[in-house]
Amino acid sequence: MMGCGTASHGALLAVVPFAGPRPRVLALSPPPSTPAIQIQNRFYSISQLPLPKAGCKGRCEASLASNYTNTSEFADLDWESLGFGLVETDYMYIAKCGPDGNFDKGDMVPFGPIAMNPSSGVLNYGQGLFEGLKAYRKSDGSILLFRPLENATRMQTGAERMCMPAPPVEQFVDAVKQTVLANKRWVPPTGKGSLYIRPLLVGSGAVLGLAPAPEYTFIIFASPVGNYFKEGLAPINLIVEDKFHRATPGGTGGVKTIGNYASVLMAQKIAKEKGYSDVLYLDAVHKKYLEEVSSCNIFVVKGNVISTPAIKGTILPGITRKSIIDVALSKGFQVEERLVSVDELLDADEVFCTGTAVVVSPVGSITYQGKRIEYAGNQGVGAVSQQLYTSLTSLQMGQEEDSMGWTVQLN
Nearest to 138, CA basis, from 394, 403, 405, 391:
394
Instruction: Give me the phi and psi of 97, to 5 degrees please.
Output: -135, 125
Per DSSP, the three-state class of 105 is coil
Spatial separation of the C-alpha atoms in residues 37 and 61, rounded to whole Å: 25
Q: How many CA atoms lie within 13 A of 27 on its CB side?
A: 2
- Beta pairing partners, 351: 300
The string of DSSP letters for 161-189 reads HTT-----HHHHHHHHHHHHHHTGGGSPP
Name the catalytic one among 177, 184, 256, 312: 256
Contacts of 224 (CB under 8 A, 6+ apart): 75, 77, 79, 82, 87, 89, 186, 187, 188, 193, 194, 195, 196
Nearest to 158, CA basis, from 36, 308, 259:
259
57 is catalytic: no
Spatial separation of the C-alpha atoms in residues 272 and 261, rounded to whole Å: 16
Give the residue numbers marked as catalytic: 256
